Amino acid sequence: MHAELRQNSQPAPPNGGRNSAAQNHLRLWPGVVLVAALGLARLWASTGEFIPQKFFFGLFIIPQVVLAGLLLWWLFASRLRWSDRVLVVGTLVAVTLITTFVADISFRGLALLVYALPVAASAWVGWLVLSMQLAWAVRRAGVLLIFVALGIGCSLLRIEGMDGSFVATFHWRWTPTPEDKLLADLKSKPAPASDLQAAAVLADSNLMEKLGDWPGFRGPHRDSRLLGVRIATDWQQSPPKELWRHRIGPGWSSFAVVGNRLFTQEQRGDDEYVVCYDATTGAEIWTQHDASRFTELVAGPGPRATPTFHDGRIYSFGAAGRLNCLSAADGKRLWTHDVAAETGATVPQWGFASSPLVAQGVVAVFAGAPNGKTLAAYRETSGESAWTANVGPTSEKPSLSYCSPQLETVDNIPQILLATDAGLSAFEPASGKELWHYAWMVPNVPRIVQPAKVGAGDFLIGTGMGNGTRRISVTRSGDDWQTKDQWTSRKIKPYYNDFVVYKDDLYGFDGNKFVCIHLTDGVEAWRSGGYGNGQVLLLADQGILLILSESGDVAVLSAQSEKREELCKFKALDGKTWNHPVIARGNLYVRNGEEIACFKLSLVDGAKGRTQTWNPTLWNPKLGNPTWQTANR
């Protein structure tokens, strides 16, 4: 073995010699070194703290370099006869090309490079090392067989997306997907019956927050902060009760819940749907759809944004850039715009994810178009174009973001906030005039999580890809706005997992670790694993955190900086779960790309020390407060 692994000083015969001569002159050690480097790179990328740059470099860049090195070694440094060199490389190229054409669409291009070729390289060199005592013809045939077998294997599989740590899920390509099963179910179900009795209730939005409604992405203020609700956390005695569950089309939307109506977006075949469900039974009330299908390797197909309810209307934004205004009562389309086409924007790599914001008569979404069209706004009722705006200095290069516009007030001035790769900007809702811009450029790193307001005029800007979170202060003097850094912490580097603020701390995900960070200085208080890349909801009156984990578990933690304390936990969903959870009118709503479920929670009356449950059949929106059924605790 040592004779083959080290460079042999004897020249190969001019004609390549017999089989035994070929294998005696094979210079194998460069291949061993390259495959070892590949293994070390993958180990380095997948261990320790999850840092996206490290992951991409270890699992995308280094494999490409190793593959190029292996081809160069085999063609120019293996010392085999040229017929063997060309035969092996030609077979590898041919199998790769054929697999690219016959494999499932999810297993082509980049997926072959990341998952199949490293296996092929390792098996190729490993077989040559283990078969040193065999005849060269057998060893050569083994290499060719490895390539063909891997090509066939890849053609039989599909990739069902990746989790937050970019670990892929594989299935046999002929097995039905969850979406296939949903479409089969829908064919056997009757069309939903029209129910317009809720139209008057849906039109009354003044009482939404008081009655426990959840009108859009992350709640009334887009901060995943729920007020006026306390839940029982002894789930041994008062566990969440499942009310309904059924399949749902893929997508990463959350919910708008108003009265007994629930709105979300999902993919069904070649169409993108906005769907209204009965919040108490899960029955489908109405649907509206567009001929559009967006998909990519990591997250898969489906819309990314959450519908917004406002004054009896639903505003939805599709993954390819279709903005719709629909009647919340029956789903009738009132107006629509192809924002991408109208602004000249390119559909982002992961699709449009901006949940529409309604503020002062306009509906604003992130467009990401060049030449001053980062943000686009339309008249709330007519759908006419109101304005477009750019973050910071106008540039031909478009800004990058998967954030949603967010309404905040600083120094009594309402303003629309938007975080992009250029920093954080604030705009006047009525005109689109930029009030201030805080520059924190992170080239080619789109921001995804929402900014969080702290106190009267401070904001937290979360940035993934290892950049961290920064606290800034915003002040006004006349017409001039000033921004100032407070601190920057790399202890929390949120990518697409939003965080919440409670008292003097923020709670959120640093990769796949859940952490508590002090707001005063950005210092870490504690961190914990076990929830993957999940999402968090704050019940502020009670001081607890409800986490929907990436694997579909629901856990409740105490919001305290002294230590991590998990109060209760249960399994809610199966499959990868990235959608934000919602609690509305005493029910917990959760979904992912496969199923949707509703659980009734036992609510606690903190003042009277009694357990309460919401009865949706008894409430009257004109009373200004819900009707409760109360029991002694």
What would the pLDDT profile of 342-358 be if each residue is shown by its tens digit? 999 999 999 999 999 99
Confidence of residue 630 (pLDDT cuts 50, 70, 90): very low
**Whole-number Å distance between alpha carbons of 490 and 510:** 9
Average pLDDT of the segment spanning 77-88 = 94
pTM of the model: 0.88
Average pLDDT of the segment spanning 449-462 = 96
What would the pLDDT profile of 291-324 be if each residue is shown by its tens digit? 999 999 889 999 999 999 999 999 999 999 999 9
Which of 558, 548, 441 minimizes the C-alpha distance to 498?
548
pLDDT at 20: 53
Average pLDDT of the segment spanning 261-277 = 97
pLDDT at 615: 46
**Whole-number Å distance between alpha carbons of 342 and 377:** 12
pLDDT at 394: 62
* C-beta separation of 468 from 485 below 8 A: no
What count of other Cβ atoms lies within 10 Å of the Cβ of residue 563? 10
Question: HSE (CB half, 13 Å, CA atoms) of 241?
Answer: 12
Average pLDDT of the segment spanning 181-199 = 73
pLDDT at 56: 76
Kindly write down the DSSP assignment for every residue of 508-521, as one continuous string.
EEETTEEEEEETTT
pLDDT at 243: 98
pLDDT at 620: 39
pLDDT at 628: 39
What would the pLDDT profile of 124-147 be if each residue is shown by its tens digit? 999 999 999 999 999 999 999 999
Q: Please state the domain extents for the chain.
A: 2-172, 224-248+536-577+579-633
Average pLDDT of the segment spanning 613-632 = 39
> Tokens at residue 151, please?
């090509």
What would the pLDDT profile of 484-512 be if each residue is shown by its tens digit? 999 999 999 999 999 999 999 999 999 89
> Tokens at residue 79, please?
């010392």
What would the pLDDT profile of 461-490 be if each residue is shown by its tens digit? 999 988 999 999 999 998 899 999 999 999
pLDDT at 194: 54
Confidence of residue 208 (pLDDT cuts 50, 70, 90): low
**Whole-number Å distance between alpha carbons of 398 and 390:** 9
* C-beta separation of 251 from 266 below 8 A: yes
> Tokens at residue 482, please?
């000033």
What would the pLDDT profile of 217-255 be if each residue is shown by its tens digit? 999 999 999 999 999 999 999 999 999 999 999 999 999
What would the pLDDT profile of 45-56 be if each residue is shown by its tens digit? 777 666 666 777
pLDDT at 392: 76
pLDDT at 18: 47
pLDDT at 7: 43
pLDDT at 108: 83
pLDDT at 60: 79
How far, CA to CA in Å, does 127 sit from each of 30, 94, 124, 609? Answer: 15, 20, 5, 70
Amino acid making up residue 174: W
> Tokens at residue 183, please?
């479409």
Kindly write down the DSSP assignment for every residue of 578-624, as one continuous string.
-SPPEEETTEEEEE-SSEEEEEEPPEEETTTTEEEEE-TTT--GGGS
What would the pLDDT profile of 350-382 be if each residue is shown by its tens digit? 999 999 999 999 999 999 998 889 999 999 999
Confidence of residue 614 (pLDDT cuts 50, 70, 90): very low
* C-beta separation of 179 from 269 below 8 A: yes
Residues belonging to the chain? 633
Confidence of residue 623 (pLDDT cuts 50, 70, 90): very low
* C-beta separation of 471 from 517 below 8 A: no
pLDDT at 199: 47
Judged against a pLDDT cut of 80, whether residue 197 lies above it is answered with: no
Phi, psi of 318 (to 5 degrees): -85, 165
Confidence of residue 621 (pLDDT cuts 50, 70, 90): very low
> Tokens at residue 150, please?
């891997």
SS3 172: strand
pLDDT at 50: 63
